[in-house]
Amino acid sequence: MTQIPKKIKTWQMVQPSTKNKETGEVFPGKIESTEIPVPELKSGEVLVEVAGCGVCHTDLGYFYDGVATVVNPPLTLGHEISGTVVAGDAAWIGKEVLIPAVMPCRQCYLCKTGRGNRCLNQKMPGNSMGIWGGFSSHIPVPSLDLCEIKNRGGIPLANLAVVADAGTTPYQAAKRAGLQPGDNVVVIGIAGGVGQFMGQIAKTLGAGTVIGIDLNEERLGRALKYGADFIINSTGKDAATVLKEFRTICKTNDLPNFGWKIFEVTGARGGQETALAMLGFTGKLIVIGFGLAKIEYSISRLMAFDAEIIGTWACLPEYYPAVLDMVLKKKIDIDPFVETRPMSTIRETFEEVHKTGSPARRIVLIPDF
């Protein structure tokens, strides 16, 4: 039975992280448990009871690194959400859904020309959708972009939250890359929360060869079971050394030295330098990871190589059903990459993920108010 709550319970970021511009020192924000009256739903809106909300590096950027949210705090963070519709549009009540991490306006030029994932008026829970975010008992959202979950078998609804960002962002990246069956792919950062999806999705979309690069031997071993055909451990190696190993793999396996699609997921300087070094004839470098490094590169190489560098942001809601289908049909495995915890551990969990940088599994917080 679905139930409309009296109040929405939520973990609100009451104070953002702040940065001292002179010293560069950053101070973390503050999160408090609080209750908010249930808002009156506008036409086209529904109230979703949150089953789970994934912890993303973007949340930590707001909470620790001085990255500003579009809506000034207080607001609730969290944009990787699954749940059940409990109020609003009758056609949706009782349905299990994914809430897309970004919801385009559907009115602007970008939206009308297929670039809605980068719509400038888009709404993102935990950033630009009023005070609302996923680390809550409930969240009001427009129903237009919801992705219905049907026949999820034994997969817990909370676990499916990771599809709504970590799983779909790589899919959009594959689309931006024009990934075709038989294409050869490199995933830099294949052992991380988004990278492992990138490897699995590339393979599911028919990639001929997937080479995974990362720093953790054990997790690289895991990648071999989930999409990667070859792995390179880049620990302590500069871009030139990794490039040499890549070329050896190509030579010994009769793989071409052109046309590689390189997905850079880490956002770290080392990963980006490696990606640029590997970008060769008719290649494409797709930038998914976020970082602050500034790297020198002679861009005329792109001319000589007839190559491209492409940025990619989030994912169009219309692609969500395709990714969800891959998960439900077990073409992509999520269970080995998800860990659930009570939402009341939010402070400790943020602290832990911030410290370790890249946890072995994506953490999904389950409301336990």
Residues that bind Zn ion (CB under 5 A): 56, 58, 104-105, 108, 111, 119, 121, 165
Smallest gap from Cβ 244 to Zn ion, in A, equals: 34
Cis amide leading into 359 (omega within 30):
no
CB hemisphere CA count around 331 (13 angstroms): 15
Single-letter code of the amino acid located at 339: E
- In angstroms, give the least distance from the CB of 363 to Zn ion: 12
For residues 108 and 249, which CB has a smaller minimum distance to Zn ion in the complex?
A: 108
The residue (of 246 and 263) whose beta carbon lies closer to Zn ion is 263
Q: How far is the CB of 362 from Zn ion (least distance, A)?
A: 10
Query: In 3D, which of 213, 268, 217, 219 has the Cα closest to residue 241?
Result: 213
Residue with tokens 């009296």: 6
Angle between the 217-225 and 195-204 helix axes, to the nearest 10 degrees? 20
Query: Least distance in Å: CB of 314 to Zn ion?
Result: 8
Compute how many other C-beta atoms are within 10 angstroms of the C-beta atom of residue 71: 17
Nearer to Zn ion by C-beta: 10 or 58? 58
Q: What is the CA radius of gyration of the chain?
A: 21
**Amino acid symbol at 180:** Q
Position of tokens 């939520």? 10
Q: Which CA distances in Å does 71 have to 54, 68, 108, 120, 135?
A: 20, 8, 21, 14, 16
Nearer to Zn ion among residue 121 and residue 344 (C-beta)? 121
Residue number, 28 or 104, with CB nearest to Zn ion: 104
Asked if 210 contacts 228 with a C-beta cutoff of 8 angstroms, the reply is: yes
Assigned token pair, 177: 């890359």
For the CB of residue 63, give the shortest distance to Zn ion in the complex, in Å. 13
Shortest separation between residue 338's beta carbon and Zn ion, angstroms? 15
Task: Select 99 or 239, whichever has its Cβ closest to Zn ion.
Answer: 99
